[in-house]
Amino acid sequence: MKILLVDDHALFRAGLVLLLQLKHPGVRILEAAGVMQALQQLQQPELPDLCLLDLDLKTQSGLEVLHRARELAPAMAVVIVSAIEHRAGVLACIQAGAMSYIPKSAPPEELSHALDRVLAGEVYLPEEFAGLVAGAQRTAASLTRRQREVLVRLNRGLPNKLIARELGISEYTVKDHIAEILRVLGVQNRTQAVIEARNLTLFDGSSA
């Protein structure tokens, strides 16, 4: 796995790099201290699989990196690792396409657990933000069995192509199912769908 770490605090970057290398020796880690360096990395032929992004950069907001990342590397997962902990800021990140949010104030063991979750392709939010996404507009019973199967794979972080391959359906059909899942759950993107499904415990007993 190739990880892009975007943070303007050199000491925090060094600590996070050390933690990642100790727990996951095989990862490749790129570092960027600001927006320009981050965008340069996102314009290279071999794109990162994951971006760990601070929101409070010295010259510009990390949200700019998040928006550009969705354009330059739509398949790359973005996880916010930031000292900004107000609900509006976290919600803005999720709505912009961030996969997870990890507060810098988290104790080392929680930070380590959160990183393990996101490196496994799972969504992570601290307990105090677990109900961040608005409640579902329709009940879980409105989802068909196939839509639940697609939702389980969204929870695993699979792209549409792999979901289609596992379920033996076309990518167009997968897109249709995802659109209906978003409508039923009353959310705007895949990450919000997974978070809301977790809130509703839709993955309990779901097919793998």
- How much is the pLDDT for 135? 41
CA distances from 193 to 24, 82, 116, 123, 200 (A): 28, 23, 21, 10, 10
Q: Is 38 within 8 Å of 65 (Cβ atoms)?
A: yes
Average pLDDT of the chain to the nearest whole number? 82
- How much is the pLDDT for 139? 45
Residue 119 has pLDDT above 70, yes or no: yes
* Residue 141's pLDDT band (cuts 50, 70, 90): low
Residue type, position 128, single letter: E
Average pLDDT, integer, range 142-163: 89
Residue 195 has pLDDT above 50, yes or no: yes
DSSP three-state, residue 194: helix
Q: Give the residue from 48, 37, 43, 47 showing the smallest Cα distance to 10.
A: 37
CA distances from 204 to 30, 74, 88 (A): 37, 29, 29
- Read off the DSSP letter of residue 56: B
Which of the residue ranges 30-44, 81-95, 178-192 would you say has the lowest mean pLDDT? Answer: 81-95
User: The pTM is what?
Assistant: 0.63
Domains of the chain (ranges, CATH numbers): 2-129 (3.40.50.2300), 140-199 (1.10.10.10)
- How much is the pLDDT for 45? 85
Phi first, then psi: give them for residue 5, nearest 5 degrees. -105, 115
Average pLDDT, integer, range 171-178: 93
- How much is the pLDDT for 126? 80
